[in-house]
Amino acid sequence: MDITFNNDPKLSILLPVIYYAWQDDVLTNTEFTTISDFINGQDWLTKAEKAFLKSKITLSEPPSRSELFHWKEKINQAIDSNPKIGGLTDLGLLIANAERPAFSNEDITKIAPAFAKLESGLGIMGPEVISGFRRREKTLTQEHNTVESFNVQKMTDLLDGNQADIINKVKSIIGSEAFKLDIPTDVAEFREKVLQWCKLLADEGLGSYAYPKAQGGKDDIEGYFAIMETLSYHDLSLVIKFGVQFGLWGMSVMFLGTNKHFNKYLKGAGTLELPGCFAMTETHHGSNVKGIHTTATYNHADRTFIINTPEKYDRKEYIGNAANHGEMATVFAKLIIEGKDYGVNAFVVPIRNKNKEVLPGITIEDCGHKMGLNGVDNGIITFKNIVIPHEDMLDKFASVNEAGEFESPIPSDNRRFFTMLGTLVGGRIGIPRSALAASKTGLATTIKYSDKRRQFGPEGGNEVPILNYRMHQRRLMPYLANSYALTFGLQYLTKRFINRKEDEMQEIEALAAGLKAYTTWNARNTLQECREACGGKGYLSENRIDDLKNDTEIYTTFEGDNTVLMQLTAKNRLGEFRKQFGEMNVSTIFNYVVDKAKTSITEKNPIATRNTDEAHLKDPAFHLQAFQYREKEIVSSAARRFKKLVDDGLDAFDAANIMHPHMLQIADSYLDRVVLEQFQIKLQDTKDEALKEVLTRLYNLFALNKIGEHKAWYLEQGYMEGVKTKAVRKLVSQLCWEIRQDAVPLVDAFNIPASCLGAVATTKAAEA
Amino acid sequence: MDITFNNDPKLSILLPVIYYAWQDDVLTNTEFTTISDFINGQDWLTKAEKAFLKSKITLSEPPSRSELFHWKEKINQAIDSNPKIGGLTDLGLLIANAERPAFSNEDITKIAPAFAKLESGLGIMGPEVISGFRRREKTLTQEHNTVESFNVQKMTDLLDGNQADIINKVKSIIGSEAFKLDIPTDVAEFREKVLQWCKLLADEGLGSYAYPKAQGGKDDIEGYFAIMETLSYHDLSLVIKFGVQFGLWGMSVMFLGTNKHFNKYLKGAGTLELPGCFAMTETHHGSNVKGIHTTATYNHADRTFIINTPEKYDRKEYIGNAANHGEMATVFAKLIIEGKDYGVNAFVVPIRNKNKEVLPGITIEDCGHKMGLNGVDNGIITFKNIVIPHEDMLDKFASVNEAGEFESPIPSDNRRFFTMLGTLVGGRIGIPRSALAASKTGLATTIKYSDKRRQFGPEGGNEVPILNYRMHQRRLMPYLANSYALTFGLQYLTKRFINRKEDEMQEIEALAAGLKAYTTWNARNTLQECREACGGKGYLSENRIDDLKNDTEIYTTFEGDNTVLMQLTAKNRLGEFRKQFGEMNVSTIFNYVVDKAKTSITEKNPIATRNTDEAHLKDPAFHLQAFQYREKEIVSSAARRFKKLVDDGLDAFDAANIMHPHMLQIADSYLDRVVLEQFQIKLQDTKDEALKEVLTRLYNLFALNKIGEHKAWYLEQGYMEGVKTKAVRKLVSQLCWEIRQDAVPLVDAFNIPASCLGAVATTKAAEA
């Protein structure tokens, strides 16, 4: 009679391999040949048996579906009968010996190696395949889910702090029907809508919030920043238009002008009855604002200034509020008195009348369509001998006296200009806080969607929420941690700015410049991950990630190009370092050596560099030491390197050029340390145990993820060894897995109006 | 008489410090106090002299501008008289002793330390400040510029290879007036424009290029890919619309159908007389296409199939060409015969009539506004019991016979489905090639602009092209090198695909999946840097970086989510590894041990791990060893780790989840190595010395930059020590500096139609 698996049971020893070969989509024709060669080589098979087996692995004569199904049945029975099976051959044996022993133990020991070699030769990993055959009980990956381990409202209170009232007021406004988010693709329409929104906010008294009470304001700058940040959950064109009008225009008057200017302009600025611009940047002078060419020539005869654009590309470019709505502008220009240049000063210049007609001598072009922020009317302004009265020079830091002479408490033009800029540092606080809010909207949308969206799953089991995949967690959780860390970091910056003393200004400016770059780059990276993590949904405008991304894209450029700002921050840190370890410059580096010695004793010993205990890796003291070590080492090596380059006769400018990347690291390591410290302080201040616990997880992820990002540097320095950096990576992945359970409550704590979240964030699980 | 610097010369020793204090914008009030304290401490000064000096550093009584000017004069004279001056005190001495010696050498040695301490205490770095005072001769940074060291046309020929003719034809078309790039913001308008463009391309015979001659094609798939890539210098909505119509729709018929389908559909597809869609993805089944729910139920009575969408979210989503123009669709659905599920198969289904009216039973929604590609009409299709004839099942891999029975040479549904997908791998070649072209457009625009745009410069010197700044080079040059490397890598992939043999398919699919992810992520990063490097200009739509970025953004998601594709690639590599080192699976790892031993002898000895010779660091053999070592080590450690996890009783699905990030590294290291090899081969084949030289610089930058990106891993492994990774970083920076001179010619060699470049790329230097 014919040979079959049933009437010749021992042949079943190959049944699992044959089934796998047909089922699996990885084996190639070569593998089929491999099996048939193997069969030929088995002397315990008769010619006929070999022929039969080979007939089962002939590509041109595949088994019928019912035959495959029958084989699978047998396999399942065998697996259920013995859960301990290790590989396909063991499985085959079990089937072959099912009724009566077809193979003795001697047989088995004889043939086993050949079968093992066959399996491995086919790249079959036994346990994996068996595990794949098995009918699943639930897996860890399926079981994992959202757990609310803390009180969300309490977390919101912790985040909002003393600004809760104004934050809630703004949220209720942007959540209202009037602020319904449907963004017109038509630019003109969009700009009008944004203007209307700004009017509504001004009517609510939000525009003048930072202005003196005398001019109808609340004299509350901290509140103003909270408004900027909270508005940023909504459309960002609105935020920037708001910032240009009430911040750049109004506050330039407030900080650079004196009482006469306040009375003349601030009220109208705050109510939006007097829309204005901030005209500093010129086409040919972007980052290098000190080099602007616009002139303000003083005429003593009638005590006026003549504002003029000398050459075409000395025009003011990218000026917000200029293309359509602005009536006034704070113009930065070089003051010329009797042919002598007295450096950059600020003047108030009218550009449109109440009928929105551009005034004679003023030319305004539209910057046209942009990558984002198309609700903001950016324009290009050219001045042709515009005459303004003496009183419209903003004269807090410099003025022209009765005698027509220049007067200033700060003789150096450089120094005066940077002092003026210093007062405008507020923009470098508002922008990162806005960027942070945008990141939070992106994270909230993405994490809520990922918690519901299911793709793939174990054979036969349900599909799994994509947020349960380690890779997905690894992409999103560190940014969630950053968003909390930066909340505390930027609150710190804001308080420093509000309570600033004269002598702290340079440090605060450096901190603001740095955190602006640090935060907007973080927003860029966060929103990129959000876009990709939402897949196709992340590409649909209804989910807002596109606008959040495109609008914040320019945040890395305006208010100072990030790369340039990081240089400023680094320059300040280097200066501070030189004062601290000044003697280095006269080439004894005593202090520093002592200091390094300390480090190496306490930290650089083998126990520390190889310490992989979880307790140690989660120790705030370890984090702070590691961050401080990186900061100090980078700045001191920069000082030495720079000195060497110049001592070797390199021009200081060339030396600085070579140092740029190194300088960026100075700023980055400094900012990492500052933010870490603020997170640590916040943890110490948190009393609620549940909040403290989840915040500690986030804190550890922030700290260890940063250390991981810089592990190459730590390894190069010998500050850590491979075993330790590997342990850090493992712990980061573990923390991501744990925080995944808190992720949804953690973004709920941002308490972002539902109308500002992407559509997918509010869909039911079944629809995700 | 009054004390002045003139009548009491020795006081001038402090003049430079005082001048610096007023001039510099870094010194704070504290520093002023420091100076006055210093003055008080000097016993060689009379009370009156101290009073005078202190009066010169009282913040409330600044020196007049003319006084400052006068001081600067003296300083300049002193500096010119002696270029060797090291610090401010030396400078002061020189001024003080200008006419007659005010200080003897004894005096000097006595007071010098105190002055040195003052300088350093103020954070003043002498040489740097002096260098700042000095009137500049040209600096290296200013001198650096563009040099055309090779023949651009020859480089273009090298890049275009055997496809030059079709490439030039396409370039002349997209450079023509009819293809003028002004993108309507209105979506409907934009979609019509793109459709018209596609018609023009079809009229030129480009649509059917890949189709059989019998159906009016050129039977030239390689040419088709060259067309896709070259079109991508132009608008990318056009490219995707083109790809959907002629690639996805037409080629699904070509690869999954048989002759009857070719005759029925291909001609109309190629001429665009029959617009069609590719309907695979469902709302709830994106990455997991195998899990789609749409059904095609066979009815033997009249030999028809009934296409149906069972549940709401089983609808086909994101389908290109569906919202407005598609008349037919290749629909993927589970074939049901007599209640039995025969897995996913493909069917041709009509969705609109010639009047563009949606057919009864079909519902089509518009996906609405997207982040980019708004010229493509993506839609959502729902089928309500649509009846199609038996002949419209695409039956190359499976069919229903006369008896109404299912027939297929591939019994396993899995296997058949992946075989079908395999034939569609072309999309994963077209997309990365399109992404690469977009990166090149961004790089060409950015590099040409950066070569002209000037910002900052040495004191008193001209401003410098921003491309001369090291940081700017560091941001752009590595991506320029990548763009060349990937050109060769993707040409290799294309040739592998075109000359594929059955048994290579899995490897080629894995390579295509991986290079799709690898290249589109590179495009994402390249265009991000371009956007930021162009500053505000990069944000204006006229410079195209916004569209290039937003359009390619979805490239990381469609044709397979990058993260998922990298898993596919890794899975294949892991399988190959297990076959190669199969014995590992049965837990003797002999081969592997031997293999590792080899490595450690030749590479892991102290000489190699610490070798920083430039010759060694530029040695292709070193690069290849390093890349191969990383690839092999990562895949083998993954195999061991995975085995351990499963052996320890973890479910294979949970184990795979933990392994995801590791798997990504497998794919990444594999792709790095493949691309490196192709670059090396291209170098060997290049005969022209000038081309070879510049390509070698690019090659070295590519190789060393990749090693630098993974230095943490190499350090963890002990494959390199810190001295070596630091040397690599230094060399990368040096190569960026050198390649900056070739940068403009290197992007000119892409020969991108001027009309496709950003506006800033074509402006004159004076306007940049």
Q: Where are the alpha helices (DSSP H) in A372-426?
A: 413-423
Cβ atoms of residues B140 and A654 within 8 Å: yes
Given the structure tokens 């920043």, which residue do they identify?
A225
Enumerate residues 76 to 105 of chain B having a beta carbon within 8 A of any beta carbon in chain A.
none
Confidence of residue A366 (pLDDT cuts 50, 70, 90): very high
Asked if B58 has any chain A CB less than 8 Å from its own CB, the reply is no
Per-residue pLDDT tens digits for A296-338: 999 999 999 999 999 999 999 999 999 999 999 999 999 999 9
Asked if A711 has any chain B CB less than 8 Å from its own CB, the reply is yes
> Are the beta carbons of B657 and A468 separated by less than 8 Å?
yes
Residue B569 has pLDDT above 80, yes or no: yes
C-alpha span between B548 and B527 (Å, rounded):
7
Domain boundary pick from A119, A135, A151: A135
Residues A500 and A609 in one domain: yes
Asked if A276 has any chain B CB less than 8 Å from its own CB, the reply is no
* Burial class, A700, CB count within 10 angstroms (exposed 0-12 / middle 13-18 / buried 19+): buried
| Of A200, A651, A751, the residue nearest B127 (C-alpha) | A651
pLDDT of residue A551: 98
Cβ atoms of residues A154 and B669 within 8 Å: no
Q: Chain A closest CA to B24's CA: distance in Å?
A: 6
C-alpha span between B50 and A269 (Å, rounded):
50
Q: Which of B68, B120, B450, B664 to mutate to test the interface with A (most CBs of A within 10 A)?
A: B120
C-alpha span between B161 and A554 (Å, rounded):
39
Which residues of chain A lie closer than 8 angstroms to B582, CB-CB?
117, 119-123
Which residues of chain B lie closer than 8 angstroms to A470, CB-CB?
657-658, 660-661
> Are the beta carbons of B654 and A541 separated by less than 8 Å?
no
Residue B482 has pLDDT above 80, yes or no: yes
C-alpha span between B763 and B507 (Å, rounded):
46
Confidence of residue A578 (pLDDT cuts 50, 70, 90): confident
What percent of chain B is modeled with pLDDT above 70? Answer: 96
> Are the beta carbons of B116 and A586 separated by less than 8 Å?
yes
Q: Chain B closest CA to A683's CA: distance in Å?
A: 30
Per-residue pLDDT tens digits for A82-114: 877 878 888 898 899 888 888 888 888 888 888
Both structure tokens of B149: 């060291």
Beta-strand ranges (E) seen in A148-189 are: none
Which residues of chain A lie closer than 8 angstroms to B539, CB-CB?
370-372, 553-554, 557
Q: Chain A closest CA to B203's CA: distance in Å?
A: 32
Confidence of residue B122 (pLDDT cuts 50, 70, 90): confident
> Are the beta carbons of A286 and B185 separated by less than 8 Å?
no
Enumerate residues 498 to 537 of chain B having a beta carbon within 8 A of any beta carbon in chain A.
502-503, 505-506, 524, 528, 531-532, 535-536
pLDDT of residue A26: 62
Which residues of chain A lie closer than 8 angstroms to B69, CB-CB?
none
Cβ partners under 8 Å of residue B275, min gap 6: B245, B249, B321, B325, B326, B327, B328
Given the structure tokens 């230097």, which residue do they identify?
B765
C-alpha span between A715 and B716 (Å, rounded):
7
Per-residue pLDDT tens digits for A584-600: 443 333 344 445 545 55
Confidence of residue B70 (pLDDT cuts 50, 70, 90): confident
> What is the extent of the structural domain holding B190?
175-424
C-alpha span between A212 and A265 (Å, rounded):
12
Chain A, nearest residue to B284 by Cα: A768
Question: Hey, which residues does B344 pair with through a beta bridge?
Answer: B334
Residues A583 and A644 in one domain: yes
| Of A428, A573, A536, A507, the residue nearest A760 (C-alpha) | A536
Across the range B234-241, mean pLDDT stands at 98
Per-residue pLDDT tens digits for B710-762: 999 999 999 999 999 999 999 999 999 999 999 999 999 999 999 999 999 98
* Burial class, A711, CB count within 10 angstroms (exposed 0-12 / middle 13-18 / buried 19+): buried
Enumerate residues 181 to 240 of chain A having a beta carbon within 8 A of any beta carbon in chain B.
185-187
> Are the beta carbons of B725 and A733 separated by less than 8 Å?
no
pLDDT of residue A108: 86
Residues B535 and B622 in one domain: yes
- Judged by average pLDDT, the poorest of A125-139, A273-287, A635-649, B83-97 is A125-139
Domain count within chain B = 3
pLDDT of residue A476: 98
- Residue B462 within any structural domain of the chain: yes
Residues B121 and B243 in one domain: no
- Residue A152 within any structural domain of the chain: no
Both structure tokens of A639: 């000082």
Enumerate residues 16 to 45 of chain B having a beta carbon within 8 A of any beta carbon in chain A.
22-26, 28-30
pLDDT of residue A602: 61
Per-residue pLDDT tens digits for B364-381: 999 999 999 999 999 999
Asked if A422 has any chain B CB less than 8 Å from its own CB, the reply is no
DSSP state for residue B285 in the 8-state scheme: B
pLDDT of residue A25: 63
Q: Chain B closest CA to A714's CA: distance in Å?
A: 9
- Residue A716 within any structural domain of the chain: yes
CB contacts < 8 A (A, B)? 378
Residues B401 and B328 in one domain: yes
- Residue B92 within any structural domain of the chain: yes
Q: How many helices (H) and strands (E) does chain A have?
A: 31, 13
The residue ranking higher by pLDDT, A606 or B444, is B444
- Residue B140 within any structural domain of the chain: no
- Judged by average pLDDT, the poorest of A459-468, A684-693, B41-50, B543-552 is A459-468
Per-residue pLDDT tens digits for A32-72: 888 989 999 999 999 999 999 998 888 778 888 788 888 88
C-alpha span between A296 and A299 (Å, rounded):
10
Residues B578 and B726 in one domain: yes
| Of A299, A321, A297, the residue nearest A310 (C-alpha) | A297
Both structure tokens of A181: 């988010």
Which residues of chain A lie closer than 8 angstroms to B550, CB-CB?
371, 546, 550
> Are the beta carbons of B62 and A409 separated by less than 8 Å?
yes
Helix pair A65-81, A126-133: axis angle to 10 deg: 100
Cβ atoms of residues A450 and A476 within 8 Å: yes
Q: Which of A342, A419, A557 to mutate to test the interface with B (most CBs of B within 10 A)?
A: A557
Residues B322 and B455 in one domain: no
Question: Hey, which residues does B340 pair with through a beta bridge?
Answer: B337
The residue ranking higher by pLDDT, B608 or A275, is A275
pLDDT of residue A370: 97
> Are the beta carbons of A28 and B506 separated by less than 8 Å?
yes
Per-residue pLDDT tens digits for B167-204: 999 999 999 999 999 899 999 999 999 999 999 999 99
Across the range B219-232, mean pLDDT stands at 98
Cβ partners under 8 Å of residue A70, min gap 6: none
C-alpha span between B596 and B578 (Å, rounded):
16
CA distances from A584 to A581, A592, A601 (A): 6, 8, 22
* Pick from A418, A471, A541: CB nearest B371: A541
Asked if A423 has any chain B CB less than 8 Å from its own CB, the reply is no
Residues A528 and A545 in one domain: yes
Cβ atoms of residues A159 and A749 within 8 Å: yes
Across the range A335-355, mean pLDDT stands at 96
Given the structure tokens 């060393």, which residue do they identify?
B704
Q: Helix, strand, coil shares of chain A as percentages rounded to 5? A: 65, 10, 30
C-alpha span between B581 and A652 (Å, rounded):
57
> Are the beta carbons of A540 and B367 separated by less than 8 Å?
yes
Asked if B127 has any chain A CB less than 8 Å from its own CB, the reply is yes
pLDDT of residue B601: 54
Cβ atoms of residues B99 and B422 within 8 Å: no
Q: Helix, strand, coil shares of chain B as percentages rounded to 5? A: 65, 10, 30
- Residue B106 within any structural domain of the chain: yes
Question: Hey, which residues does A278 pair with through a beta bridge?
Answer: A330
Residues A238 and A105 in one domain: no
Amino acid of residue B506: Q
Per-residue pLDDT tens digits for A391-432: 999 999 999 999 999 999 887 888 888 888 888 888 899 999
C-alpha span between B235 and B514 (Å, rounded):
25
pLDDT of residue B591: 42
**A366 membership: H or E segment, kind and range:** strand A362-366
Residues A251 and A106 in one domain: no
Given the structure tokens 């406004």, which residue do they identify?
A173
> Are the beta carbons of A506 and B120 separated by less than 8 Å?
no
- Work out the end-to-end distance of chain A between its first and last CA atoms, rounded to an integer number of angstroms: 57
What percent of chain B is modeled with pLDDT above 90? Answer: 71
What percent of chain A is modeled with pLDDT above 70? Answer: 96
| Beta-strand relationship, A276-279 and A328-337 | parallel
pLDDT of residue B33: 84
Residues B358 and B459 in one domain: no
Residue B405 has pLDDT above 50, yes or no: yes
| Of A670, A677, A665, the residue nearest A713 (C-alpha) | A665
Cβ atoms of residues B385 and B363 within 8 Å: no
Which residues of chain A lie closer than 8 angstroms to B461, CB-CB?
653
Q: Where are the alpha helices (DSSP H) in A232-372?
A: 236-242, 250-256, 259-261, 267-271
- Residue B573 within any structural domain of the chain: yes
Phi, psi of B306 (to 5 degrees): -110, 115
The alpha carbon of A519 is separated from its chain's Cα centroid by a whole number of angstroms, namely 7
- Work out the end-to-end distance of chain B between its first and last CA atoms, rounded to an integer number of angstroms: 57
CA within 13 Å, CB half, A452: 17
**A340 membership: H or E segment, kind and range:** strand A340-350
Q: What is the DSSP string of B497-538?
A: HHT--GGGHHHHHHHHHHHHHHHHHHHHHHHHHHHHHTGGGG
Per-residue pLDDT tens digits for A464-479: 999 999 999 999 999 9
Q: How many CB atoms lie within 10 A of CB B566?
A: 27
| Of A123, A14, A117, A34, the residue nearest A74 (C-alpha) | A14
Q: Where are the alpha helices (DSSP H) in A581-647?
A: 590-602, 606-610, 614-617, 620-647
pLDDT of residue A585: 45
Per-residue pLDDT tens digits for A220-273: 999 999 999 999 999 999 999 999 999 999 999 999 999 999 999 999 999 999
- Residue A457 within any structural domain of the chain: yes
Confidence of residue B84 (pLDDT cuts 50, 70, 90): confident
Residues B234 and B257 in one domain: yes
**B306 membership: H or E segment, kind and range:** strand B304-308
CATH number reported for the structural domain that contains residue A487 in this entry: 1.20.140.10
Q: How many CB atoms lie within 10 A of CB A46?
A: 11
Q: Is the CA virtual torsion A425, A430, A435, A439 positive or negative?
A: positive
CA distances from A66 to A63, A71, B22, B200, B296 (A): 8, 9, 93, 52, 21
Enumerate residues 464 to 483 of chain A having a beta carbon within 8 A of any beta carbon in chain B.
468-471, 474-475
* Pick from A62, A458, A715: CB nearest B653: A458
